[in-house]
Every structure is written in C-alpha cells, then in structure tokens.
Amino acid sequence: MRIVVAGGTGVVGRYVVAALRARGYEPAVLSRATGVDLVSGAGLDAALVGAETVVDVGNVTTSSRSAAVSFFDRTGRNLAAAAERAGVRHLVTLSIVGVDRVRLGYYAGKLRQEAIVREGAVPWTILRATQFHEFAGQFLSGIPGPVAVVPTGQVQPVAAREAGEALAGLALGAPMGMAPELAGPQVESLPGMVRRLIAAGGARRRPVLPVYLPGGMSAGGLLPTGPGPRGVQTFEEWLRLR
C-alpha cells in the first residue's frame, strides 16, 4: 500500500510518518521541501501517482479567519481534486474537537476543510482531536505584553505523538466518515496549563489573567462530547519530558 502524508514534516505529521514506518510502511511525505506546494497545487499530481491512501495534516499558523479559510480552502480543494484524479481510495484528515462549537478564526478554516472532504468524491475519514500539549505555549506566543490574558475554559489535551499514531491506524483501515473523537486522559484548565508551563520555564515569566471569552471556548466547547479513544500521556508528564 502506498501512503502519502501531506504535511508530514509538521508537529503531528512527523509522528504519523514514524508510526507508519514502525508498522512496516514507507510513506511518501508531501511538503515544499519535497517539491509539493499544497496551496498552489504544484507537484501534487506527480506525488500522488499510485497512492492508495492520503493523510492530510497540512497546517498554517494563524489566528486570522480570512487567512485560515483561504489556506484550508485552497489546500483542501487541491488535495481532494488531485486525490480523485489519482484514484486514491481513502483520504484521512485531521480536525479539531469543538470546531463546530467554538467561534475562532482558525476553526472556521478547519470547518471549511471538513466540508471539502465531506463533499468530495474520495472516500474519507475525519479525526477530530483535542488540543495538543503544545497548545498552551502556542497560545502564549501570540499574546504580547507584560500580562498573559488567557481565556477561561477547560481542555482535554492529547499528545501529538498519540494523535499521529491514531491517524496512522485510521490510514491503514477502511474509510469510516467521522471517527470517534480523540482526547487526552485528563481535563485541564487552560489558565492552569499556561501557569504550569511558565513555572516550568517553558515560556517567559509574567502574570496570567484569566478572562471569559465569548464564542464557546470558555463554555466547555473544546471538550469531547461522546465516547472515543483517550490518550495516555498527561500534560504534567509532557512538561517533565520536554
């Protein structure tokens, strides 16, 4: 089976690649470094020749709604169209728990990506995962100033490695539509995660100011709503190992 991983050099993508290799496969990695541009579509058709399964973990770092929607619309359309032309039999896409409940700009882009996958001709699986342990640091990096203003609310963070392993497992199975949501082993408060990250030396020291954020994040919108696989590594364990 020829498996292609779009975004295979990213935070989750490298774990997808490693998990597939551990199972005896040698996935092809799509990235600009390998001559493929998901945004323009350059190199996609050649890269997908003979592919049976494509795992899409391509990503963009932005909080802008317009930038996120533009990126995921263009990459989603390009990848879905190229996969159809290549006769791909399974498209596996990573999404986010709560993407349809929390009104964030980035989430609007992921919702657009989901819609493209659902409406496409290639049989598909979408895995919604909760935020990764890196989320607290990524969130902090976008907050300037002497005080870290952090939304209240709970999250159930999962290890990026465990998400990559879950995606690899789905890639080796049959298309199933919406997969059960993947979450971490424990519910955490986002301000609490940020404070512990700062205390552990993982971010610049400054006071944390929790605030209520309209739009679902502070109201539990990031938590899974049903049963599904749960990761093993806790945020505390991840902090000790990083």
Query: Got the DSSP string for 7-23?
Result: TTTSTTHHHHHHHHHHT
Can you tell me whether residue 138 is helix, strand or coil? helix
pLDDT of residue 141: 86
What is the Cβ-side half-sphere exposure of residue 40, based on CA atoms within 13 angstroms? 7
The domain spans of the chain are 3-241
Q: Give the pLDDT of the chain (242 residues) as one tens digit per residue.
A: 999 999 999 999 999 999 999 999 999 999 888 899 999 999 999 999 999 999 999 999 888 999 999 999 999 999 999 999 999 999 999 999 999 999 999 999 999 999 999 999 999 999 999 999 999 998 888 888 999 999 999 999 999 999 999 999 999 999 999 999 999 999 999 999 999 999 999 889 999 999 998 888 999 999 999 899 999 999 999 999 98
Contact 186, 131 (CB under 8 A): no
The model's pLDDT over 104-147, given as tens digits with 9 standing for 90+, comes to 999 999 999 999 999 999 999 999 999 999 999 988 888 889 99
Q: What is the CATH number of domain 3-241?
A: 3.40.50.720
Torsion angles phi and psi, residue 107, rounded to 5: -65, -30
Nearest-angstrom CA–CA distance, 68 and 107: 8
pTM for this model (two decimals): 0.95
pLDDT of residue 70: 97
Per-residue tokens: 131 = 């935020």
Nearest-angstrom CA–CA distance, 96 and 57: 12
